[in-house]
Chain A
Amino acid sequence: MTRSSGLGTRCLPAGALVLLSLVPAAVGAAQTPDSVRGRVVSTSDASPVPAARVLVGGTAQGTFTDDKGEYRLELPPGARTLLFRAIGYKTLEVAIEGRAVVDVSLEAAPLTLQEQVVMGYLTQQRRDVSDASAGVTGDQVRGAQVATVEEALRGRLAGVQISASGEPGRPADVVIRGQNFLSNSAPLYVVDGMYLGQNPNLDPDDIESIEVLKDASAAAQYGAQAANGVVVIRTRRGRGDTRVELQSYYGYQQIPKRVPMMNTTDWAAIARQAYQNAGQQVIPGAANPPPISTDWQDAVFTTGAIQDHGVTVSGGTAGASYLISGGYLQQDGAIVQTGFHRYNFRINSQLQRGRLTLGETMALSSTRRQFLDGFPLIDVVRFPPAIPVRDSTTSSGFAFGSDAVPTFGTNPVGELMMQNNWGRSNQLIGTTFAELQLASSLRYRFNLGVNLEAYTQENFVHRGQLRFRDPLLPARLTSTQDERTSLLVENLLTFDRSFGSAHRLNAVAGFTEQRDTRDALVAYREGYTNENLQVIDAGQRSNLNNGGSRLENALRALLVRANYAYRDRYLFTGSLRRDGSSRFGPGNRYGTFGAASVGWVLSQERFYPSIPLLGRGVDYFKLRVSHGVLGNQDIGDYRFSAPIVQGLNYLFGSDVVASGATQLTLANPNIRWQSNRETNVGVDLGLFQSRLTVTMDYYVSTSDGLLVPAPIPPSLGVTEFPVVNAGTIRNTGFELAATHRLERGDFQLTTSLTLTTTRNRVLHLGNGGQPIFAGPFGVARTAENSPIGTFWVLQTDGIFQSAAEVQASAQPNAKPGDVRYVDRNGDGSITLDDRYAAGSAIPDVTGGLFLDGHYRRFDFTVNLRGSFGGKIFNVARYWTDRMDDISNFRQGLSPWSPTNPSTTTPRAVIGPQGASNANPLSDRWIESGSFLRIQNVALGYRVPAAVVRWLGVADAEPRVFVSVQNLYTFTGFSNWDPETLGFGDALARGIDDGAIYPNPRTITFGLDFRL
C-alpha cells in the first residue's frame, strides 16, 4: 500500500479510529545493526528450542537455531523485524530495535504435545494427558469473526456437535458426544474456575484457550454436573512487555438462499384447481387475481451488518501481570427487526509476593438482543402472494388478507415490526483467588467465583391487526426482570512434584460449594395511548398484572484428582467426587462419581524403535483407556415435590374472585442422580517429527437412570410431566482429529481435520418402555432400540394414478391423485399404526476441515464443515405442499390431475377431500439434512510498517483481512438452511418449524493491529 491508499484505513468505522487515537505514539526506529544473535527458548519451561527457523521479516533470508537454541544471522540493510518459527510453537515476530542480541521465548502452539492443557482443576502437558479432550486456542477462535465463541468452534472439535442459528445473539446448541439426556442439553462451562450452567457471553477476543473434557475421566472432577460434558475456558492473561492489540471488523450479512415460491398468477391457477376439484366456489382472489405479487422473502429478509471493535492492553513482570480489554459488537440481523449488540470489559490481573499469589478475573458485559417473533419463516412461505405487504386502510398498516384472499397466516413483516421484543443482559462473571505456597510442591488455593446477571426482557406489542379478522387488542407491554446470582466458594490443595526423573505427580483435593438464586418479577400493562412510551408506567392502570418468583439451588462437593506419570511412559489419572444437591429429596441427595484413565506412551519404550512400521514411521505413540461415572442433576428446582399451584381462580356471586389452588403435576419424591458410565479408548500419534498429529477416540457412553420428564397420557389430567429416572441411552462414537503442519520456505500450512461419528440408541425407557413423542404433531419419537427423536411417520408410495390402483390399495376412499400410503402393518387399512422410523436428526458423521496458511505477508483460512445422515422434518414444506389449503405453493409444484399424472404431488383439493394428503405425520415432509458448507474463507495481509509510518508508531504492521462466512452450502435440503435449531426441544431436533433463523452469509473486512 502506498500513502495515498491509506485512505482505506481512514474509511474504517468510527469506533476503530477512536481506538487508534488512543495508541500512544512510539519513538522512531533505531539504526539496523549488521548482524544479530540470540537464543530461542520455550515459554513453558525455558528449555532451548532447536531447529527453529529465524527469518528476517519480509524476506526469505534466515537461519536455524542449533541444539542449544542459539542462532546468528547477518542482517540486510533495512531489516526491522525477526520472525521465529518452530514446529510446535507459535510463530513470533519481534522488532530488532537496533539490538545486537535478540533472545526470545516461544509459546507452545496448539495441539502439540508440549502444550499446556487446562484440564479443569489441574493443568497438564498434552503429552501427559491420558483422558480424552479436545481444545482450541484463542487465535483459532479470534480468526473466525463471529459474535459468539461457540460459532467459532463449529467443526473444530471432534465429538462436539455445534449447531448455530443465524439469529443474532441466540446461543448455539452444543452437544458433546451424542445426546445422553432427554432434557437440558447444555454442557457445563467452567470459565477461569467459575461454574456456569449457561453459555457464557464471552467476547471471542478474550479467549486464551478452550478445552472440551469429553470422557468420564476428564470430566469426573465436575461430578454431578458433568454428564453433558464440560467446556473449560481460560481467558487471556498479560505477560511480558506492554502490548496493545486492536481488532476491528465490519461485515454485511444476507440470507444466502431463497426458497422459490409461486407468483400470484401461478398461485391462483392452483388455488382455482383446489376449489374446483372440491366442487366449491373459487375465492375471488384466485378467480380474478389482483395485480399484486408479493415476494414475502424479499419483504422479510434484509441486508444485515455486523461490526466488532476491540482493544486489549496487557503486560506483566515476573511478579505481576494485567490484561484490560474492551469490546463492542453490533449485529443487525438479516431478518428485519432482529439484532444484537454486546459491550464487554475485562480486567484480569495477578500479583505474586513471596509465597502468596493473588489474582482475579472479571468480565462485565451488557448485551441486548432483539428477538425474532412468531413464526415468520413459516408465514414467509405460506402467505399468499396476492396479499400486499402494507395496506394503509388497516389498523396496523399491514395487509393480512380479506374475503377475496382469506388466509390463516399472520403477516410476517407486521409480526416482526409490530413487536418490540428485546432482552438485555447485564452480566458480571468474576473469580478471585488467593494461593499460598505451603511447601515447595504444595499449594493452598481459595477460590471465589461469582456470576451476577440482571436480565430484562420487554415485549411491547403495538395496537393493530396483523391477521385476517383478528381482534384489535390494545397496545401492551410485558416486562420481565430476572436477576440471577451464582456464587462459588472453593478450597483447594494442589500438590505438584517430580520424584527423581522417573515420577511426576500432580494432584488436587478440594471442597467446593455453589449456590444459585434467581428472582423474577413480571409486570403487564396495556392501553398505551402514546406508543412511543414503552414503559410500564405509561400503560393504563386497569387490566394490569404482575408476578414474582424465586428459585434457589445449592450444591456442595468434595473432590480429588491426581495425575501420575512414570518415566513419561505410564500415565495414570484418577478422579473422585462426592456431590450433594438440593434438587433431590433428602433421601437421594448425595451421589459419588469417579473415573480413572491410564496412558501408555509406547514410543518411549526401549523396544519401540524395533517395532516394524510403527517404530520408524510413527515417532509418538500413546494409548489411552478411561472409564468412569458422571452425574446429571439438571432437572430444575424442587422437582421432588408436587407444588400446589395458586391462582386457579373463579368468579362467584357478582364477579367476586374466589381463590383456587390445586395440584397440577404428579410428584416423584424418589428422583435421584442420573449417572453416565463411559468408557473411552484412544490413541495419540505423532508422525514425521510430529508434523502430523492424529488423535483417535472410540467411546461407549451409557446413561442410566435417565432423568426424563416422563410423558404420561393426557387422560391422567396432568399439565406438566414429572421427572423420573427412566431409561438408558447408549451413545457410541468414533472421533478423529488430525493436524498437519507443512513448512516450505515462506509457506506454512496447517491442515486440521475432524471427523465424528455418532450412534445413539435408547436401550430402555421407563414406564414399561413406553415411547416419548415430542415436537410438532408428535413427529419425533423416542423409543427403545432407536435413536432419540426418531421421525415416526407414515410411509408414502407415490400418487394413485387410477381407480384400479385405489381399488387394490388399503385406502378404499381415496381418489386418483391422492397420496398412497404404505400399509406397513398389513391390516388392510391406513391408520397411524402404520408409522415407521424415517430417520432422525442425529447425523451419522460430522466433520470439519480447516486450512490455515501463511505466505510471506499473507495469511489465509479455508474452513469446510459437513454433516451427513441427519434428517429434517420440514414444517414449512407441510404448509406449501399439503394441497388442501391455499397457502402459497413452492415454485414448480405441479399437482396431479388426469392430464398431469404427477407421481410426487397429489391433486389440489381444498378441504376434507384433500385431508388424507395433508397428513402431517408423513414422510413427504422428511428431507435429508446432509450438507457440506464452506463455512469460512479468509485472506489477510500484514501491511509493511513503511506504509503506515505516518501513524508515527514504530514497527507497527497492521493486518488487514477479508473473510466470507457461509460462502456456499452443498445440500439437497429444500428450505433455507439445513443447520436448524427450531424450538430447541432436546427430544425433537432437526425440525424446521418456522422459529428457525437461517445462517446468513457474512462478508467481513477487518483490521488487526498489535503494538
Chain B
Amino acid sequence: MRLRRLVASLLAGAVLAGCTNLDLTDPNQPSTDTFWRTTADAVAGVNAVYNGLQNNGTYGRWLVFATDLRSDVGLINSPWTDLSNFTKFTFTSYDFEVNHDLWQHHYQAIFRANQVIARVPGIAMDAALRDRIVGEAKFLRALLYFNLVTLYGNVPLITTPPELTDRPATVGPPQLWAQIEQDLTEARAVLPQAYSGADVGRATWGAATALLGKAHLQQHEWSEGEAALSEVIGSGRYDLMANYGDNFTDRFENNVESVFEVQFGDRSFLSAGTRGLNISRMVGPCGPSYCDGRPTRWYIDQFLQDTTVTGRPDPRLDYTLYYKGGSDVYGVANATYFADDTTTHNIREDTLIFFKKYGEYYLGLRDQDWDAGINFRVIRYADVLLMEAEALNELGRTAEAYPFVDRVRARVTMPPLPAGLTQAQMRDRILRERMFELGLEGQRWADLARHDLLTPALQAEDAEFQFFVAGKSELLPIPQSERDLNPNIKQNPGW
C-alpha cells in the first residue's frame, strides 16, 4: 500500500536525518591548536611581525608625523583640523586617529613578536634558524619599544603573549630601555651579518648593534653607545652610497648603506598582502599629494646657510624639499609649478615649500599614489657615522668626531667642518648635520629630545611651538581607549 510505503520512508528519513555533526572546525584558517609546530610556521610567524611594520601607525604613514612634522623642521597645514592640531600639541580627542594608530599598531606588532619569542623556541627545527628567527623578533620588538619610549615615555611593557585579563601597568623609561637593550643584546648574538636572496631585508647583527648604540645614546650612555656603533663601523659591512638620493627610491633598496629598512611595495603588491609607504601621499607637494605636512621655512633657510665646495647649495636640499628654484615637481617644470599663480595654489610664496623625499616623482606620474614602493630607511650607515661622532664628542673626544661627520658631508661635496670646534659647537654641528642628512627619516624628534631641546623656544623656528607646553608636550597623550579599558595606565603629565 502506498501510504504504508510513504510512512516507512518518512520514518527512515527521520532517523537518517539525525546525524548532524556538531564538531565543526574552521575550514578557512588553522587555529592555534595546530600552529607553531613547523619551520614554516616559525618563518611565517616572524614574517607577520615584519608585516606589522607596514601599518599606518608604524612605518606606513603616521610615524613621520610624530617624529618630523611635530619637530621644528615640519608643520601641518591641513583642512583636516584635527590633523593640523597634532603638530600643535593639541587634541580634541586623545583617540585621534594618528595618536590611536601609533599606539595600537605598535602594540599589534609587539603581540606578533611576543608570539614568535614565546612559541618558536618550542618548535623542533634547525637550531640556527630557530635562534635567528627569535633574534629577528627580539630586534623588531626592541625597535617598536624604542619608538614607544621616545614618543610616549611611559608605556606598558609586554613581553609575552597576553592573557585576556591582563591589564598591563605603565612602566617608566628605565625599565623600557633595559628591555630594549636586553632584546638587542640577545638579538645581535644570534643574527647573521647579512642575508642573501629572498631573505635580504631581515634584521641583521648590524641592525641590532646599531639600534643598541642608538638606544644607549638616547639614554646619554655615550660610551656604551660608542662601543656598539664602532662595532658596526668596524665590521666593514657598510658604506655610503655614492649618490645620496639613491637611498630614497625603490631602485637601490637594501644597499650597502642600509642597516635596516622597512620593505614596502607599490599598489601592485596590495593583493599580495603587503602595503606601500603612504608618507609622500600625505606630505608631498600640493596637487600630487595632500600636502598636509610641510617643511618649515626655517628648515630650508638652514639648508641655504651652507654651501658645497663649489659654492652650490647642499645637494641634499634638492632630494629633501621642493621650493621655488629647486627641482621639477612630478613632471611639472619648477618655474611653472612655482609661478605663484594664485589661481592654482593661492598660497603665499614663503609657505610654498614641500617635502620631496620618499616621493615617486621619478616614475613620471603627475600624482603620488597612496602606496609608494619605496622602503623606509630606519637606520642608514650615515646615521651610524653621525651617531658615532656624537658619542665621541659627548665623551670629550671631539677631535675624533670630525672624520665621521666629514665623511657624511664629503659624499655630498660639502666641505669638512671647520677645525677647532668646541664640544658644544660640535654637538650643534652634528645635530644640524643629522637634520640635513636625515630629514623626514624619523630622527628629528628623538634628536631634539636627546639634547633637551624640545621647549617653547623652538617657536622661533616653528611657530607651532607656541602651543608647546613644557612638562607636557614632550610626550604624546596615552590614547583614551587605552585608559578607558586599562585601569593600570597612567596618563602622561599635563594631559
Contacts and interface: CB of A to CB of B under 8 A. Distances in A.
Given A651-B269, A714-B482, A832-B94, A658 B47 contact: yes
Interface in A886-912: 886, 910-912
B393 interface: no
A827 interface: no
B422 interface: no
B200 A469 contact: no
Contacts of B78: 408
B482 A471 contact: no
A776 to B, nearest CB: 10
B93 A652 contact: no
Interface stretch (A546-554, A682-690, A977-985): A546-554
Contacts of A284: 342, 346
Interface in B35-87: 35, 41, 43-52, 54, 78-81, 84-85
Nearest to A652: B201
Contact of B281 (A471, A589, A713, A781): A471
Interface stretch (B175-183, B271-279, B317-325, B408-416): B271-279
B274 A657 contact: yes
Contacts of A33: none
Contact of A717 (B54, B107, B347): B107
A489 interface: yes
A360 to B, nearest CB: 15
A648 B3 contact: no
B28 A549 contact: yes
Interface in A288-302: none
Interface string A812-835: 000000000000000000011000
Contacts of A724: 164
Given A716-B162, A884-B81, A642 B110 contact: no
A767 B165 CA distance: 6
Contact of A650 (B51, B108, B164): B51
Contacts of B79: 401, 406-408, 468, 886
B24 A586 contact: no
B198 A715 contact: no
A545 B271 contact: yes
Contact of A644 (B20, B22, B35, B264): B35
Contacts of B21: 554, 582
Interface in A512-526: 513-515, 524
Nearest to A355: B3
B480 A778 contact: yes
Interface range on chain B (Cβ under 8 Å from partner): 35 or more
A564 to B, nearest CB: 27
Contact of A471 (B24, B112, B342, B368): B368
A918 B92 contact: yes
Interface in B262-319: 263-265, 267-274, 281, 286-287, 289-291
A511 B264 contact: no
A920 B93 contact: yes
A662 B201 contact: no
A660 interface: yes
Nearest to B488: A713
Interface string A752-783: 00000000000000011011010001100100
B88 interface: yes
Contact of B85 (A402, A656, A659, A912): A912
A712 B107 CA distance: 12
Nearest to B292: A469
A921 B25 CA distance: 42
A710 interface: yes
Nearest to A434: B10
B31 A643 contact: yes
Interface in A337-386: 354-356
Contacts of B95: 777-778
Contacts of B41: 661
A446 interface: yes
Nearest to A912: B90
A990 B264 CA distance: 41
A284 B264 CA distance: 39
A446 B10 contact: yes
Given A910-B81, A915-B92, A469 B286 contact: yes
Contacts of A648: 47-48, 51-52, 112, 273
Most chain B beta carbons < 10 A, residue from A645, A781, A912: A912
A581 B21 CA distance: 10
A472 B32 CA distance: 41
Nearest to A718: B111
Contacts of A551: 28
A722 interface: yes
Contacts of B20: 513-515, 554-556
Interface stretch (A54-62, A624-632, A663-671): A663-671
A915 B495 CA distance: 14
A648 B113 CA distance: 13
Interface stretch (B11-19, B428-436, B442-450): B11-19
A550 B22 contact: no
B437 interface: no
A12 interface: no
B23 A586 contact: yes
B81 A717 contact: no
A615 B286 CA distance: 85
A403 B346 contact: yes
A746 B278 CA distance: 75
Contact of A777 (B93, B161, B290, B485): B93
Contacts of B92: 882, 884, 915-916, 918-920
Contacts of B479: 714
Nearest to B35: A644
Contact of B47 (A356, A513, A659): A659
A356 B429 CA distance: 99
B484 A771 contact: yes
B85 A911 contact: yes
Interface string B248-265: 000000100000000111
Nearest to B10: A446
A875 interface: no
Interface in A307-325: none
A911 B367 contact: no
A543 interface: yes
B29 interface: yes
Interface in A700-729: 710-719, 722, 724
A253 to B, nearest CB: 34
B486 interface: yes
Contacts of B91: 915
B482 A713 contact: yes
Contact of B202 (A641, A652, A663): A652
Given A471-B370, A660-B50, A921 B6 contact: no
Contacts of B166: 712, 716
A912 B345 CA distance: 24
Contacts of A582: 21-24
A284 B270 CA distance: 39
27 contacts: A284-B342, A284-B346, A356-B3, A356-B6, A408-B80, A446-B10, A469-B291, A471-B367, A553-B24, A581-B22, A582-B22, A644-B31, A650-B50, A651-B269, A657-B269, A658-B47, A660-B50, A661-B35, A662-B112, A663-B32, A663-B115, A713-B168, A714-B103, A715-B482, A717-B111, A778-B95, A832-B94
Interface of B: 3, 6-7, 10, 13-14, 17-18, 20-33, 35, 41, 43-52, 54, 78-81, 84-85, 88-95, 100, 103-104, 107-112, 114-116, 155-156, 158, 161-168, 195, 197-202, 254, 263-265, 267-274, 281, 286-287, 289-291, 342, 345-348, 367-370, 373, 467, 479-487, 489, 491, 495
Given A652-B201, A654-B200, 13 more contacts: A355-B3, A406-B79, A407-B79, A468-B79, A511-B14, A545-B271, A554-B21, A556-B22, A662-B48, A713-B485, A773-B485, A885-B81, A912-B88
Those 9 A-B pairs whose CB atoms lie nearest each other, nearest first: A717-B111, A660-B47, A649-B273, A545-B271, A660-B48, A912-B90, A713-B486, A662-B48, A406-B79
